Structure 1
Amino acid sequence: MKVIGISGLPGSGKSFISKYSIEKGYLVTNMGDVIREEAKKRGEDTGTTATNLRLEHGQYVVAKFTINKVKELIETCPDNENLIIVEGIRSPFEVELFKDAFPDFTLISVFASPLTRFNRISKRGRGDDTQDINSFRLRDKRELEFGIGNVIATSDYIIVNESTFEEYNNKIDTFFDKILNHETIYLQ
């Protein structure tokens, strides 16, 4: 099985790749779900929990939980020559752990401008989203402090998501067609 990580700032389009992957029959796990589940247990907001988990257990905590989840998926589907998608990689530390755990690990990042992302977030209505531009900027700042900017900059592939839904969908189709056929990928 091939493990593909997805990174990108909030509202960039990571979740769409996950939904697309599920429709194609790929297995998907979301690192943010680990944080959301723990935040619910603690009665905290997700940002506070994300920071606290890393302070309490180190920079690798979310990746370690997720890697264990991926290994369980591989064990339960050993004959599956499918893909496992890991959404929400945020730090270089996490990337290194995934590369150590899965030698064929590939990282793709989704990029969209802050204005585009804010507009998407303010419309999607997820529990940890904001309608306030200052809160949005603080969330971006926190994500950047985790090291997500370095993750995006050193990704194996970057998809720019500033265009229409149809164009973005076509870029994702192209990416998966080529990665499954072990072709060189050039996305514009």
Structure 2
Amino acid sequence: MKVIGVVGYPASGKGEFSQIAAGLGIPVVVMGDMIRRQVTAAGLALTDENIGAAARRLREDFGMDAVAMLTAEEVGKQHADAVVIDGIRGDAEVRYFRSVFPEFVLVAVEASFAVRLSRMQSRGRSDDTTTAESLKARDEREESFGLAAAMALAGVRLVNESTRDVYEAAVRRVFSEEL
């Protein structure tokens, strides 16, 4: 099974990457869903604060690749030639996925801070931040998980600063080259 992981800062376009994959019939496993399940099971609201705390707790209790282990179990349940993993946050996760999926490809999605903040302010998800200060804090939290190091390990890079059509064409090229 070919596994394509996508990594990037919040609101860079990981979710769009996954939507395009799903539109092509490629199953998507979202790492954040593993954390959201933990938050929901604890009876907490799905806020950025609660999700961040759960992510930190999982990593503190079980190691920096804890979310990757939970995700890999979900990937293993897929019956497909290719699967996308959305939302890699750290280099330990990349190393784990490379150890369990021989055909693992990592794609980094990049967008400027200003573009990402604008996207968050307009999309209205419950875990979105809407100020520059809160996005900076979220970026720093995710960097503490190894996000910058994970992005440096990517073999494929996409810049998502233009229109959705331009980005979709770039994502489709990745799939045509990697699958």
TM-score by length of 2: 0.93
Which residue of structure 2 lines up, in the alignment, with residue 128 of structure 1? 127
Counterpart amino acid of 1:154? L
1:8 partner letter? G
Determine the C-alpha separation between the residues in 2 that align with 1:99 and 1:63. Answer: 11
Residue ranges of structure 2 left out of the alignment (5+ in a row)? none
Structure 1 segment 39-188 matched on structure 2, within 5 A:
39-42=39-42, 43=44, 45-73=50-78, 77=79, 80=80, 82-180=81-179
The structural deviation recorded for 1:13 is: 0.2
State the SS of the aligned residue for 2:107: strand
Q: Secondary structure at the match of 1:26?
A: coil
Identity in percent = 37
Q: CA RMSD in A?
A: 1.1
User: How big is the shift at 1:59?
Assistant: 1.0
> Residue 31 of structure 1 corresponds to which residue in structure 2?
31
Q: For 1:136 and 1:19, how far apart are their aligned partners in 2?
A: 23
| 1:92-149 Cα distance to aligned partner (Å, 9 max, x none) | 1111110110111100010001110010011111111011221111000001111110
- Secondary structure of 1:167's partner? helix
Separation in 1, partners of 2:63, 2:178 = 33
